Amino acid sequence: MIGDFLVRMKLYKLAVWQCYGRYLQQFGSFRIEDIADINEFKTVFFGNGIDVENSSFTFHALQMNCVCRYQMVKKVDPKLLNLESKRKCMSILKFLRFIMQVALPKEHLFWLIFNGTTYIYTICRHFMVLALYAQAFEYVLWACICMESSAPLLTVRYLRWRATLYTTVCQCYYDCGSAILGETFARRALGKISELSHLEIINSPPQSPDTRQAFREATVKVSLMIFKRAVFESRRKPKGYFRPKTKTNYKENQNQPWPHNATECLLVEMFKGSAAQFLAISETLSGGNQRILQTKPPVPAEQEVFDVTMELFLAGLLLLSGGGGNTQLNSAACTDPVGGIKLSSSLIELAAAGKMCCPELVILVFLTKSLQREMSHEN
């Protein structure tokens, strides 16, 4: 369609004016902000039912009209500083949900559901960048529900995308301060991935390399959301438990065989390969409460949190040096300072493949954080 071509060319206003808007004129004058519920939506656009001819064109025009309007709002106010811009984006998300609610019972319209989840995700990620986590959560969770409710979207082909939506929901939970719910949702998602894996083994053995790669990647993504809370909670003592103040000698521990402590044991238990283990460390230390790049202690300021944070940094540096989970360099005494660096690869690709190396750009970020942490201790 010409409208889709104009969208690819980022001519959103022209696409609405000459294509999608002109097609939707047959339904009369309307504003998406004024459509309050699903029944009104059906009355306006599908008064004769969903199975009429060209209904799929109507769904597509409605979705793309929303996409174009969102891009137009974003172009004018990219940080959504104006309350009217936020209101328009929320109305667009609500309208996209109406579209998907109507199309969801029709299995042959699964492609509309998939497209709808990508559009919702795009807007919600924008919200999350602007720290509007609560506004994004409801709709990205809806996108997950839609993926699980459409049989054609429950296949391995869409597994990577489902895992991305799962981790986005977990991230919203964490950013909203509901870490327990985030870990619970991640464990539920991991169960769904495991169920699909068992079905694939039963129905089509043996699995192809691409299928195995998809399952490994999805499992790593979701496991990260479990590890980032479990690594701290597993070290916390019950209330009233007497814990004498002891200072860990990290230099002596580093001379011992890997894993050196409970943090590294959990890394080895949950993740295979240095790349996946380093990805878990990076994700955990990048949490908003850890204050890695600020000269302040992590929150909450508990001894267990200090210990785990330090152990994560030491484990990350060891993995970068080529030690840690690397079977060839299983001790801490690594002579190659960049033994764990891999050029021209993404960290999630290396993690899914179980590789024993990390991409060079991630190394730079991690070492910068380590330097900032050392400076904070000196201060």
Domain boundaries, the chain: 1-153, 155-234, 250-378
Residue 177 reports pLDDT greater than 70: yes
> 315 pLDDT exceeds 70?
yes
Q: Give me the mean pLDDT over the 252-260 stretch.
A: 71
Length of the chain: 379
Per-residue pLDDT band for 361 (boundaries 50, 70, 90) equals very low
Is 362 a residue whose pLDDT tops 60?
Answer: no
> Out of 8-12, 151-155, 290-294, 374-378, which region has the weakest mean confidence (pLDDT)?
374-378
The count of other CB atoms within 10 Å of the CB of residue 193 is: 19
Contact 217, 273 (CB under 8 A): no
State how far the alpha carbon of 109 is from the alpha carbons of 146, 152, 154, 345, in Å: 12, 10, 14, 36
Asked if the model's pLDDT at residue 336 lies above 70, the reply is no
10 Å Cβ neighbour count for 100? 26
pLDDT of residue 204: 73
Q: At residue 20, does pLDDT exceed 70?
A: yes
Residue 312, both tokens: 């994560």
Mean pLDDT computed over 288-302:
55
123 and 93 Cβ atoms separated by less than 8 Å:
yes
Mean pLDDT to the nearest integer, 11-33: 90
Percentage, residues of the chain above pLDDT 90: 46
Residue 46 is inside which H or E element, if any?
none
Minimum mean pLDDT range among 142-156, 269-283, 297-311, 324-338: 324-338
* Mean pLDDT across the chain: 82
Phi/psi for 359 (5° steps) reads -70, 150
Residue 333 has pLDDT above 60, yes or no: no
